[in-house]
Structure 1
Amino acid sequence: MTGVQIRLAEIIEALSKALDMTEGQPEGHCIRCCYIGMHIGREIGLDDVQLRDLYYTLLLKDLGCSSNAARICELYIADDLRFKRDFKLVDGSLAQVLRFVVSHTGMQSGLAERFRSILNILQNGGELSIELIQTRCQRGAEIARQMRFSEDVAQGILGLDEHWNGGGKPDGVSGEQIPLFSRIALLAQVIDIFHISGGRKSALAEVKKREGDWFDPSLVKAFINVSERPDFWMSLASCEVEAIVLASEPGQHAIMADDDYLDDIAAGFAKVIDAKSPYTSGHSDRVALFTDLIAEQMGIDFEARRLLKRAALLHDIGKLGVSNSVLDKPGKLDEQEWLQMKRHAEFSERILSTVGAFSAAARIGGAHHERLDGKGYPRGLTADRIPMEVRIVSTADVFDALTANRPYRAAMPIAEALAILWGDAGKSHDPICIEALERALHRLTPNKDERSSEFSAAARFG
């Protein structure tokens, strides 16, 4: 696929489904928010440039959502996906917040641990919620900038959780101090959530209830006008809404992404993926680095290496759909947790397969935990069905996992990690890939036993 151009909207629509997963929302949430928000934007008379920026703000509003998942799991001793999904239905009133905290904190924990967690939240809830939202919004804005979106898009993501009356977070700004795109995105978000959970009447009732508190009254008025059009709700609820949103990208010409831009998008989403867990910080970047080192040693040409690096950056995107209570568990996973963990490969393939430019990444994302002996997952493929590009990324992935800290063990020295790879050569990993990795590491550092506890492999070898 190198050398071709693809519509940016098509890529972002597909990747927005990964953001839906990590927010615990039904697939297509960001797309439906884009449909709703763009109707509001047109109703208030935004020009094409503003509409284009609003379009991408709505699709990427949750770009920083993975960055507070581990902290939510830690504070509330809860499944972060369920927690985030259910919290979206809370209107912010003290009574609802208290009920939510009591019903969602430490439900699977011992009584004493649960009591301590609830007490901590009740005593420090304001500071904790600011911390969680600030982390999410700032991270999302940073990644949007990295992915070449305008400052208006970044600011729209940054202000998503501010409220018209000044009662939002993290900065408590009010009224027109809140970026317009943030105001539209928050309104569209609540409309979609309540429409999905309770239908049209529920969505309209919630909007009117929060008018003047959470929502800009002028935007509520615009939405009410939009909602009275006969086809609005029908299209929103139809299976065609994704195609409608893609076809309605503002501007006379669709924005096209070339290879350099695709690389930036992959690098940006790699940061979303790795922010999900403190134990995977920098993992995707390092896997991409080790993948490239292996491929270079194997004599693979630049264009094919570029596709491999892109795939390596995105191979774990499906982990956004796995709870941190599973990802960060320090002990052995039980049967149900292991089934959840194994689904991340399936999720990766499903998300990436909808974008032609990421077809190689979809194949690798879906198969990077397969083994040559057929004992891998999710399909139990044997060697004859595992392409070399999958074998390369799989080797890079396991090598980085072994040489990085994990919740269940400390990082291994390089020599020990290579010995483990060689111990499973021909059964789990391809000896050709292991040998290429070993040659690359030897060229970069003659002492393979050295590994600084303070610097990642990417920092040392990059």
Structure 2
Amino acid sequence: MQTTIDPVMSLSELMLALTMALDMTEGQPPEHCIRCCWIGMHIGEEIGLTEHQLYDLFFTLLLKDAGCSSNAARICELYLADDITFKRSYKTVGTSLSSAINFVVKNAGAGQSWMTRISTTIDILKNGTNYAQELIETRCTRGAEVARELRFSEDVAQGVHSLDEHWDGSGKPEQLKHEQIPLYSRIALLAQVVDVFQFEHDLSTALDEVKSRSGKWFDPRLVDAFVSVSQQLAFCQGLNANDICQRVMNLAPAQVSISVNDEYFDCIVTAFGKIVDSKSPYTAGHSERVAVYTDLIAEELGIEENERKWLKRAALLHDLGKLGISNTILDKPDKLNDEEWEAVKTHSALTEQILLQISPFQSLAKIAGAHHEKLDGTGYPKRLSGDEISLMTRIITTADIFDAITAERPYRGAIPIPKTLQIMEENLHTAIDERCFNALKIAIHKLPSHYLSSEVV
């Protein structure tokens, strides 16, 4: 397992890989944020932004969806809809009132009874403006917070915050207009709409769409700049190229070497762990707690400090793939059906897939991705068994199971620690490693008091 970090690691490489998780929570095709970066950076160059401005624009574009997991549960609650499908479809809705109404009628209460769909649709038609304000404000506020947690400039944070403002003042959350809207936000929204429509249809359709919104959603000067960019052969060849990631990495801002020491690396990992946990009210703080339990178990097992540090990072990101699972499943109060359970089981493989894209995490990807494997071979995603499951994975698995039982779930309350340990003991040698379990029982007594609430002691 990797135990050192490159002192001049590529921050751009790290961010590009983690945007794959953001694409999942928005229901977008892979590399959406990366293509938006390609589009937006060409617009920025076309209008003559400085080197410093292009750097901030680069990360605004990659992080534009950093707050999107925070409103997923609320979308399901208000619209009775699959949040991922809802978000994906919403981005293709036209600007007319009829398009908005058609979207609501088609998506509100999808899969529910006709009575439920009718009542939900009426509610949304009546209160939709307020709901949209709430959802966008939640997303934009959290996205800006993530940018700050990642130590980007306030210009980047504001660029993320104002993504949904429109040139004519009809946007949200603050109804800014014209030059009141940060330039990076104006470019990012334009790039987003271009990518959604060009990927769904073609570049010509995207051009027609942004031209029709010029002066309404978009700054006319930026639309004109994109029209010029769209005529550049190199831009068009790169837009849907298989090596789009490398092409974006070759852009000037990505070449800037940023010193990422242990503390900054932990800051980045923690921020993305919070993005995962923000997706559901039932997973709030889950990744952080699993990381704490993981570290305490590892300490009891005598694992050396530097290796524990990397294992804790893997624990923080072990559920990264859950960003691709609908909240209709994650927050379901009833037993999952077979199709829903199969969907849940994809999250650990998705975690591994994303972490494999990040050089420092390649040795940890399999550890994090195997946290639902079982010693008896009945786990997922690869049905590993026995010695095929590393000690590091067994530690995370033990920590994850402990938190899953002691935390409140959609279908039950939190379970007290004594009862949790009894349940876990019944699963020794099948799902849980005995050494890790014994270490956990000792480690529990070292937990800070706020981890031992009255509900679970």
* Same fold, judged at TM 0.5 (above): yes
- Deviation digits for residues 121-155 of structure 1, max 9, x if unmatched? 11111110000000000001101101111111100
The answer for the alignment partner of 1:112 in structure 2 is 115
The answer for the alignment partner of 1:171 in structure 2 is 174
- Maintained 8 Å contact 2:166/2:175: yes
The structural deviation recorded for 1:444 is 4.3
CA shift in 2, pair 1:387/1:101, >3 Å: same
- The correspondence for 1:313, drawn from 316, 340, 365, is 316
- SS of residue in 2 equivalent to 1:373: coil
CA shift in 2, pair 1:10/1:64, >3 Å: same
The answer for the alignment partner of 1:193 in structure 2 is 196
**Structure 2 CA distance for aligned equivalents of residues 74 and 387 of structure 1:** 39
Matched, 1:300 2:303: yes
- SS of residue in 2 equivalent to 1:250: helix
- Maintained 8 Å contact 2:424/2:432: yes
The answer for the alignment partner of 2:285 in structure 1 is 282
Matched, 1:124 2:127: yes
**Structure 1 CA distance for aligned equivalents of residues 86 and 364 of structure 2:** 30
CA shift in 2, pair 1:208/1:391, >3 Å: same
Matched, 1:136 2:139: yes
- The correspondence for 2:85, drawn from 59, 82, 87, is 82
**Structure 2 CA distance for aligned equivalents of residues 361 and 338 of structure 1:** 25
- The correspondence for 1:452, drawn from 435, 451, 454, is 454
Matched, 1:432 2:435: yes
- The correspondence for 2:187, drawn from 153, 169, 184, is 184
The answer for the alignment partner of 1:4 in structure 2 is 6
- Maintained 8 Å contact 1:55/1:249: no
Matched, 1:149 2:147: no
**Structure 2 CA distance for aligned equivalents of residues 335 and 119 of structure 1:** 32
- Maintained 8 Å contact 1:184/1:219: yes
- Maintained 8 Å contact 2:248/2:254: no
- Maintained 8 Å contact 2:12/2:254: no
The answer for the alignment partner of 2:342 in structure 1 is 339
| Aligned residue type for 1:4 | D
Pairing of 1:306-455 with structure 2 (within 5 A) = 306-444=309-447, 451-453=453-455
- SS of residue in 2 equivalent to 1:315: coil
| Aligned residue type for 1:188 | A
**Structure 1 CA distance for aligned equivalents of residues 221 and 106 of structure 2:** 35
- The correspondence for 1:55, drawn from 54, 58, 62, is 58
Instruction: Give the TM-score of the pair, scaled to structure 2.
Output: 0.97
The structural deviation recorded for 1:89 is 0.5
The answer for the alignment partner of 1:291 in structure 2 is 294
**Structure 1 CA distance for aligned equivalents of residues 365 and 212 of structure 2:** 43
Q: What is the RMSD of the two structures over their aligned residues, measured on CA atoms? A: 1.5
- SS of residue in 2 equivalent to 1:118: helix
Gaps of 5+ in 2: none
**Structure 2 CA distance for aligned equivalents of residues 441 and 252 of structure 1:** 45
- Deviation digits for residues 353-374 of structure 1, max 9, x if unmatched? 1112112441123100000110
CA shift in 2, pair 1:164/1:444, >3 Å: closer
| Aligned residue type for 1:440 | A
CA shift in 2, pair 1:360/1:396, >3 Å: farther
- Deviation digits for residues 79-118 of structure 1, max 9, x if unmatched? 1111100100012321111000000011211122222211
The structural deviation recorded for 1:445 is 8.0
- The correspondence for 1:29, drawn from 32, 40, 46, is 32
**Structure 1 CA distance for aligned equivalents of residues 260 and 401 of structure 2:** 31
- Maintained 8 Å contact 2:370/2:381: yes
- SS of residue in 1 equivalent to 2:233: coil
**Structure 1 CA distance for aligned equivalents of residues 119 and 152 of structure 2:** 43
**Structure 1 CA distance for aligned equivalents of residues 360 and 39 of structure 2:** 28
**Structure 1 CA distance for aligned equivalents of residues 32 and 255 of structure 2:** 26
| Aligned residue type for 2:176 | V
- Maintained 8 Å contact 1:312/1:361: no
**Structure 2 CA distance for aligned equivalents of residues 127 and 119 of structure 1:** 14
- Maintained 8 Å contact 1:11/1:355: yes
The answer for the alignment partner of 1:267 in structure 2 is 270
Gaps of 5+ in 1: none
- SS of residue in 2 equivalent to 1:257: coil
The structural deviation recorded for 1:443 is 4.1
The structural deviation recorded for 1:251 is 7.4
